[in-house]
Chains A and B, each alone.
Chain A
Amino acid sequence: MQNLKLREKIEEMSGVSVLKCMRCGKCSATCPNYDEMEFHPHQFVYFVEKGEIDKLANSKSIYTCLSCMACVERCPRQVEPAKIIEAVKLLQIRKQGNNHLKPEQVSVSLDPELPAQALTSAFRKYSK
């Protein structure tokens, strides 16, 4: 039980109670981007429950999450893993200079097919 304070913070930010989880694994069963992720939705919930937020925050998985909300939709216990991922992402971004992607890198990886809304929402996640 590493950092329960941080767990409370994540729970507050996401509005999710991780203790509701019954560890059924439906989130990971539903996830369409499962194979691209180092940690999987059910692990997100479990790590937060254990207070091991750092493990999550430093993983690329939080940026690989598509935010498709399939796990939120299907979770029988209303734990809503994607919201936890979103909260961890925010926690990371709120720290100065912790952006996953530098604004100058964006043009390199920019796909012309990318919807403009994705770009806008991506920029919302940068601090400075």
Chain B
Amino acid sequence: MKKIGVFVCWCGSNIAATVDVKAVVEACKKEPNVVFAEDYQYICSEIGQNKMADAIRDYKLDGVVICSCSPRMHEATFRKTAEKAGLNPYMIEVANIREQCSWIHKDIEEGTEKAIVLARTAIAKVLLNAPLQAGESKVTKRALVIGGGIAGIQSALDIADAGFEVDIVEKKPSIGGKMSQLDKTFPTLDCSACILTPKMVDVSAHEKINIFAYSEVEAVSGFVGNFTAKIRQKARYVDTAKCTGCRACMEKCPSKKSLNEFNAGLDTRPAIYIPFAQAVPNKATIDPNACIKLKTGKCGICSKVCTAGAIDYEQKDQIIEREYGAIVVATGYNIINLDKFNELGYSDCKDVITSLEFERLTNAAGPTKGHLICPSDGREPKKIVFVQCVGSRGLRPCDKQYCSKICCMYTAKHAMLLREKHPETEVYVFYIDVRTPGKNYDEFYRRAVEQYGVHYIKGQVGKVIEKDGHLEVQASDLLADEQLHIDADLVVLAAAIEADDTARKIGTMLTASMDTNDFFTEAHAKLKPVESPTAGIFLSGMCQGPKDIPDTVAQAGAAAVKVIGLLSKDTLKCNACVASPNENMCNGCSLCATVCPYGAITYVDKEFRIPGGVQVRRVSQVNEAICQGCGACTVACMSGAMDLKGFTNKEIMAEVESICK
């Protein structure tokens, strides 16, 4: 027979004022299996805890019920005391007779009656409780960072500086991401390359960091502390060990017509290329879609000019399998496709450009060496119109519903830099709202208006058409209640940003939840901003939502700290209240696996001894390290094989019965 002890707390007068504590004790003594019941002023106090521990030892209790405040308050305290006294911590049940009884009822008779029912219910449950043991799993002390932009770089550096190995997987030939394409950064106007490239060099020189550039994550399996990732290293057709980055091949390559992605397609590059001067790794890559040798088998000029003998047309994709303890997602963003915005003429007029193209046009390392010209005929623009919120904050299918966050600031930056370099140009910015929260941000925007004389106009551009080599911009000025017709040379669109197109694939691979915009969701919007709900997955940068460089770096550092915290442990303690299937009842239908939000359930073929032989059946298996104990599977299971430890069907049924008695 199980021996149960009951403690009823007074909580000073908090409980004792509206619940007759003595009567509860007496009622509990009458319950079956209860061998001990006592009341005390404050059970959570040290004396109260000692009393509890003594009772557990003296009466050799198998379970304890404490009638006190909410279990959310002191359950952990009571469990610790029980464990110290030699009782399994999960053999403790708390009957909430304060928040859910004494505090809400004024009549002592009513309160006592309810408290007795609650105590009885807890006794009924604890009688069915089984001792639980939280499992443990080991931690692989290496982190994977997916994406090599500023977010990935910062996270990798911080993790590596703490002494853990880090692998960065970047799909492009070089790390650096979008930040490497930018000219200046707001609000300080430092040159983007000047602050980014040293970090890129740090990454490549760091002994703990391994860069897999021109690679993609193909598959991820496992769970927190024990992930296994398959990384596809795409064929560069260049032996990176031999390539010195001398660029002789780039000069001699006869196929020079490919659009240069790094310059936002504003100029062309050869088929064999290094994307930009400070690329890390500084190794050439052959674009198989452009290379004459790879397409037709004739050419091979690059291999002739390469003194290092690095060219290898036979190179194949390689699959690398590595184990990781934690994964940081830093897949970043892209700007949206503007083909659907034909009123703004992006696809028809060459002089309508995106802000990213504008960055490249003003960048000293860009296609025009920083000399701002109209892409159509190379003339210097005299009148420039910036349009904000193109595709942001809209409800049409081509729009994004969110604010892209960075456009207000970079447009102010563009306008300011323009007026500084070319004071004779007229600059108009059409805005809906100017959103510049952030340290020194609003001051920055005001400087653009007050010091640099940028014309900010509250209104939108309705139409852009090309006429006689100029752009006719029709727009509204809401404050003046006028329709404006501006004869502009260049129109710059602040296109909305969207999650990178690989994000969805990676999210599915990691079973990390995402929102409808393909941004990764955080485990808690306020309190767990860099963790994914899936344990062991952390979020860094734009993949979680629009943010600027300072925010990205801050978040990247925060994600790194979480990774370091995880990797510094040798083993992880799992949640003890996890789902567990009864293999004898499981029919292998997979329903539980489909409802599990964490991918904790897998299937295995298992041998079962049956009369006259052995039968192989497919049964479900719960990975206790991943299961968070929500119980969705227990209800989905049709054969009733799945149960949740600590909240078993029998336990809850007993509670129901006890209440309805």
Q: How far is the CA of A42 from the CA of B458 in the complex (A)?
A: 12
Specify which chain A residues have a CB less than 8 angstroms from the CB of B483 in the assembled complex. 28-29, 31, 34-35, 40
Specify which chain A residues have a CB less than 8 angstroms from the CB of B504 in the assembled complex. none
A101-116 interface (Cβ within 8 A of B): none
Q: How far is the CA of A77 from the CA of B432 in the complex (A)?
A: 13
Count residues of A near B (Cβ-Cβ below 8 Å): 21
How near does chain B come to A38, taking the closest CB pair, in angstroms?
10
Q: Judging by beta carbons under 8 Å apart, are A25 and B393 in contact?
A: no
Q: For the complex, is B394 an interface residue (Cβ under 8 Å from A)?
A: yes
Q: For the complex, is B550 an interface residue (Cβ under 8 Å from A)?
A: no
How near does chain B come to A77, taking the closest CB pair, in angstroms?
5
Q: For the complex, is B533 an interface residue (Cβ under 8 Å from A)?
A: no
Q: For the complex, is B389 an interface residue (Cβ under 8 Å from A)?
A: yes
Specify which chain B residues have a CB less than 8 angstroms from the CB of A67 in the assembled complex. none
The chain A residue sitting closest to B344, CB to CB, is A74
Q: Judging by beta carbons under 8 Å apart, are A29 and B461 in contact?
A: yes
Q: Judging by beta carbons under 8 Å apart, are B396 and A30 in contact?
A: no
**Interchain Cβ contacts within 8 Å, total number:** 66
Identify A25's interface contact among B343, B399, B458, B463, CB under 8 A. Answer: B458
Q: Judging by beta carbons under 8 Å apart, are A25 and B476 in contact?
A: yes
B446-481 interface (Cβ within 8 A of A): 458-463, 474-478, 481
Identify B395's interface contact among A20, A28, A34, A40, CB under 8 A. Answer: A20
Q: Judging by beta carbons under 8 Å apart, are B461 and A22 in contact?
A: no
Specify which chain A residues have a CB less than 8 angstroms from the CB of B394 in the assembled complex. 76-77
How near does chain A come to B343, taking the closest CB pair, in angstroms?
6
A11-35 interface (Cβ within 8 A of B): 20, 22-31, 34-35
Specify which chain B residues have a CB less than 8 angstroms from the CB of A31 in the assembled complex. 462, 483
Q: How far is the CA of A9 from the CA of B135 in the complex (A)?
A: 63
How near does chain A come to B401, taking the closest CB pair, in angstroms?
10
Given the interface contacts A34-B483, A74-B343, does A25 sit within 8 Å of B478 by beta carbon?
yes
Given the interface contacts A28-B462, A29-B462, A30-B463, does A42 sit within 8 Å of B395 by beta carbon?
no
How near does chain A come to B387, taking the closest CB pair, in angstroms?
10
Most buried by B among A28, A29, A35, A40: A29
| In the A-B complex, the 8 residue pairs with the closest CB atoms | A29-B462, A76-B394, A30-B462, A29-B476, A28-B476, A26-B460, A25-B476, A34-B483
- 14 further interface pairs, Cβ-Cβ under 8 Å (given A22-B393, A25-B476): A22-B432, A24-B389, A24-B393, A24-B432, A25-B460, A27-B476, A29-B461, A34-B476, A42-B476, A70-B462, A74-B462, A77-B393, A78-B395, A78-B396
| Residues of B bordering A, CB below 8 Å | 343, 389, 393-396, 399, 432, 458-463, 474-478, 481, 483
